[in-house]
Structure 1
Amino acid sequence: MAVPSGSRARYRRILRFAALSLAQTWWYDLFLPRVGLRGVAERTRSARMQRIARRFHALAVDLGGLMIKVGQFMSSRLDVLPPEITKELEGLQDEVPPVPFAEIRAAAEAQLGMPLERAYDWFDETPVAAASLGQAHRARLTPADATLSGFGAVVVKVQRPGIDEIVDVDLAALRRVAGWLSHVRLVSDRVDAPALAEEFAATSREEIDYLHEAQNAERFADEAAGNPAIAVPQVVWERSTRKVLTLEDVTAIKISDVAALRAAGIDPSEVAHAFATTMFTQLFRTGFFHADPHPGNVFVTPRPASADAAAPPWTLTFIDFGMMGTVDARLRAGLRTVLLAVTARDSKRLVQGILDVGALLPGADTRDLERAYATLFARFGGMGFAQLREVDPREFRDFAEEFGDVVRTLPFQLPENFLLIVRAMSLTSGVCSTLDAEFNIWESIEPFAGQVLRDEGGNLVKDVVGQISAVASTAWRLPQRLDALITGFEEGTVSVDMSRLERRLDRLERVATRGLSAVVFGILLIGGILLRATDEVFGVVLMAASVVPLVTTLFPMTGRRRR
């Protein structure tokens, strides 16, 4: 993609940060271990990762745009990034200085095709919230629109002017960085960086299309229509476009505001239970779920006194449907296995469920992972948050040190929807623990596991019959296949594929070449630095010459095909 001249500085700034971080990581985690200084790299790794994360945090806040979304996305990639980075970025908030109202007015009027005074009866110039992609303002519909909609108070989301170009530039930079990472074996052996970039790009494109968000809101409302405990704001389609979204104003008590809930006579522990049940129903039954249920996106709305005694005294009101997830058939089957394994504290079955959802590459050695989960279940399984708080922090640290490397070295690659599930469950448990220190997430999951067990029981006979049929079919064909194989050996028609061995030899050759290049690079660079103090010209020449072996190491050429 050709980057517009006005955005080149932004583009170069992102690439410069990525290049410096990659070079630093290469030096400490690849070069130093090869020259016998692995201890230096390991002692400084945690502090280095934290520094990189802090620099990115500052860069994201300064640039805005998609960079804040990138940081939030990275903070949830526990399968790819070390905990020092995910921990540092998890507090990155999507709050930036608001756009001047004159620019927001111009953008909204261009989208709506009329002055704001004609589109709305009143429009508050002070934003309710300002984010990196857009900002929200309170407004009131005209009498005619209010009569048609059945309500007057609305919240209007308006995209920031020029956000399309910023998104294009940021995605172009991210794709370039992903291309670099795909040539670094330390990364490419564990994660498909270009695929991650495309996954993030698709999610970002959907999030800046407000019509897509409006459709999500209506679908979510349709699926929750039979549940009086859930409310969803209505969309004002006549005042909504791809870049302007007008929704019913449903602002109420923030779900994490314990003091306000108690003041309204609402028991926070009941809210925690209802919220967990609502989220797990979306995840394990309906299959269409809110993937960003943080406290700012969920309100508790008290109901007026009603003659219907069965109606709940309050509702959970969800907003912001830009990030939604779906559970397909394969993912649902894998989740059932995971759910049953967690409930039964079965580490082997849990690992099988992780394989079923595609979160681990086939063929991975999972024995250490099974042992890690077995230890986790034995020590912490079934504990509520209050009980976990009483555990000596050294136990958690010892567990992380013993099994953290096991998890991070396995070929994890979480599918997008599974990542959204992990995010939704993590946010759910966090909100519930804020509402009720005694909240036990295991107890909330168990009813769903019980239903899954009942569902699984109905399919047990069918599964057994299918397995018997498969075994019988294999046994029936086995004598014929053995006879054909023996005949092939006798006639000399059986060939052996040596391509895998050849590929391994190619790989060894490339590793040796890269190792030699790394040593040459280190000698030239360090020698140039030392000589620069006495002979600046020669020192600079050596430092410049070190770029050639560095490029050979970072971007190895494909090994020649053996004949």
Structure 2
Amino acid sequence: MAAEPFEAIRAAAEAELGMPLDVAYASFDPTPIAAASLGQAHRARLTPAIGADVGLMDVVVKVQRPGIEEVVAVDLAALRRVARWLMRVRVVRKRADVPELVEEFASTSLQEIDYLHEAANAERFDADFASDPRVTAPLVVWERTSLRVLTLSDVTAIKVTDVAALEAAGISPAAVADELARVTFQQIFVHGFFHADPHPGNIFVTPVTDPGGPGEPPWRLTFVDFGMMGEIPDTLRAGLRDFILAAVGRDSRGLVTALERLHVLISATDTDELEHAMTALFARFGGMGIAELQRVDPRELEAFARQFGETIRALPFQLPENFLLLLRTISLVSGDTSALNPEFNMWDAVDPFARDILSPSGIDSVRALGKQAVSYATTLARLPRRIDELAERIDRGQVAVRTPDVDRRLGSLERTIGRAVSAVVFATLLFAGVLLMPTVPVLGWVLMGASVLPLLHVALTWRGR
């Protein structure tokens, strides 16, 4: 995005700090090192007095763009209007509380333009990893920080996905990928407080030129930009752990149960088809990394996606609080790790974490008996519950005799309705993205990118009509 004229940035910073820039800083570079939709960053040097007090001189100063609060307010009003319109569509209303999702996004956006909140996030993140020498965050210079100006120690180093620079520094990109995945799971499942914008520009690999001791690593991961953070309550964290354990164990029933516990899948619904689809998914693609998936015949992936999509659309899914940020984080980290190591497999990164979760309860000793024994034990343990669930579905009238001809006609009607709904959602997302592009390009691109999913559904189901 185009940088704001320096005179406007100077005026905004001086008004916020209550003093001229040449008094607040010993020097201030007028050329920004980064310019985003909400603000831009400049290098500067602290005055000798403040530098001696905090123990550093080189800093990066983030200054909010003038008038950005009004722009954000207008954009959020437009999104709220779109959300109210979408809630008139029954299929959407059944599966998600769109206004609630917009309010969650609004809360995150307003926090992003509050630099005092970002500074507090940076210190909390740093405290979470205080005992981990592999992870660092910049130091906040509170003497030069306010609502719209944020001053941090300059921690610029090797961009996390710059493979050539990492190799030139003697750092293994594959090792960085492994460490990044570990740190991400640590944030999500242990701290419950995670960086929700881990794109390559927000993570550096910092070489340690003079390791201080035997436990000192030769490099560190340095995170910056803590405006967008996610928080996971204990109940959600427990559900996520169940989900991870089920995924690692290729337990399709356990995965469905975890989705119900996470409130992603509304309970009291017939989930047999989803369980069968997950079993097929694990059997064919379980454990594959991105590089392996790329070698699968695209026609096979398309056929499976169409079949799996029909199952997903038939069930009442919804997105709980903070799930959008969590999905964004996992998606970005997956892209980072794949750029570092095309053969990187997220299953391998999750497996040690799952074992750490299991070890306190002693289940590791059971797993040592072999996968087959565990599979038998799990099946037997689930049998009484499956019988109870069958009885409950009979009581609720959810067990039905399937008639192929009627099912085929109803399926055709459902697909037609599904295509119509997807077309409406596509048009809405695309229109909203186009409207937001001039003022908030990032959000505009996100909405326009999201519109591709319902468009693909229309195209694929129309081809297979």
Shorter chain as denominator, the TM-score bin is 0.7 to 0.9
2:327 equivalent in structure 1: 422
How far apart are 1:176 and its partner, in Å? 1.9
1:187 equivalent in structure 2: 92
How far apart are 1:384 and its partner, in Å? 2.3
| Aligned partner (choices 198, 206, 209) of residue 114 of structure 2 | 209
- For 1:312 and 1:161, the matched residues in 2 are separated by 42
Q: Is the 8 A contact 1:276 1:432 kept in 2?
A: yes
1:175 equivalent in structure 2: 80
Residue 289 in structure 1 maps to residue 188 in structure 2: no
- For 2:218 and 2:210, the matched residues in 1 are separated by 8
- How many equivalent pairs are there? 364
How far apart are 1:433 and its partner, in Å? 1.4
| Aligned partner (choices 304, 310, 316) of residue 399 of structure 1 | 304
Question: Cα gap change, 1:109/1:123 in structure 2, threshold over 3 Å: closer, same or farther?
Answer: same
Task: Output the amino acid matched with 1:216.
Answer: N
- For 1:326 and 1:365, the matched residues in 2 are separated by 31
1:387 equivalent in structure 2: 292
| Aligned partner (choices 51, 54, 57) of residue 146 of structure 1 | 51
Identity of aligned residues (%): 59
2:157 equivalent in structure 1: 252
How far apart are 1:441 and its partner, in Å? 1.3
Residues 62-94 of structure 1 deviation map (CA, whole Å, 9 limit, x = unaligned): xxxxxxxxxxxxxxxxxxxxxxxxxxxxxxxxx
3-state SS, counterpart of residue 222 of structure 2: strand
Residues 81-121 of structure 1 deviation map (CA, whole Å, 9 limit, x = unaligned): xxxxxxxxxxxxxxx21111111111110000000000111
3-state SS, counterpart of residue 288 of structure 2: coil
Q: Is the 8 A contact 1:252 1:299 kept in 2?
A: yes
Task: Output the amino acid matched with 1:187.
Answer: V
- For 1:446 and 1:267, the matched residues in 2 are separated by 21
Give the TM-score taking structure 2 as reference length. Answer: 0.76
**Relative contact order: is structure 1 or structure 2 higher (C-alpha 8 Å, sep ≥ 6)?**
2
Q: Is the 8 A contact 2:104 2:322 kept in 1?
A: no
Question: Cα gap change, 1:409/1:106 in structure 2, threshold over 3 Å: closer, same or farther?
Answer: farther
| Aligned partner (choices 358, 382, 392) of residue 453 of structure 1 | 358
2:222 equivalent in structure 1: 317
Residues 491-549 of structure 1 deviation map (CA, whole Å, 9 limit, x = unaligned): xxxxxxxxxxxxxxxxxxxxxxxxxxxxxxxxxxxxxxxxxxxxxxxxxxxxxxxxxxx
How far apart are 1:141 and its partner, in Å? 0.8
3-state SS, counterpart of residue 214 of structure 1: helix
- For 2:310 and 2:63, the matched residues in 1 are separated by 44
Task: Output the amino acid matched with 2:267.
Answer: P
Q: Is the 8 A contact 1:123 1:137 kept in 2?
A: yes
- For 1:282 and 1:158, the matched residues in 2 are separated by 28
Task: Output the amino acid matched with 1:198.
Answer: E
How far apart are 1:159 and its partner, in Å? 0.8
Residue 371 in structure 1 maps to residue 289 in structure 2: no
How far apart are 1:189 and its partner, in Å? 2.5
Residues 19-44 of structure 1 deviation map (CA, whole Å, 9 limit, x = unaligned): xxxxxxxxxxxxxxxxxxxxxxxxxx
Any residues of structure 2 matched to 1:215-294 within 5 Å, and which? 215-294=120-199
Q: Which runs of 4+ in 1 moved over 4 A?
A: none
How far apart are 1:419 and its partner, in Å? 2.6
How far apart are 1:409 and its partner, in Å? 4.1
1:338 equivalent in structure 2: 243
2:449 equivalent in structure 1: none
Q: Rg: which structure is higher?
A: 1
Q: Is the 8 A contact 1:137 1:156 kept in 2?
A: yes
How far apart are 1:258 and its partner, in Å? 0.2
How far apart are 1:406 and its partner, in Å? 2.2
Consecutive unaligned residues in structure 1, runs of 5 or more: 1-95, 459-563
Q: Is the 8 A contact 1:284 1:448 kept in 2?
A: no
- For 1:120 and 1:364, the matched residues in 2 are separated by 62
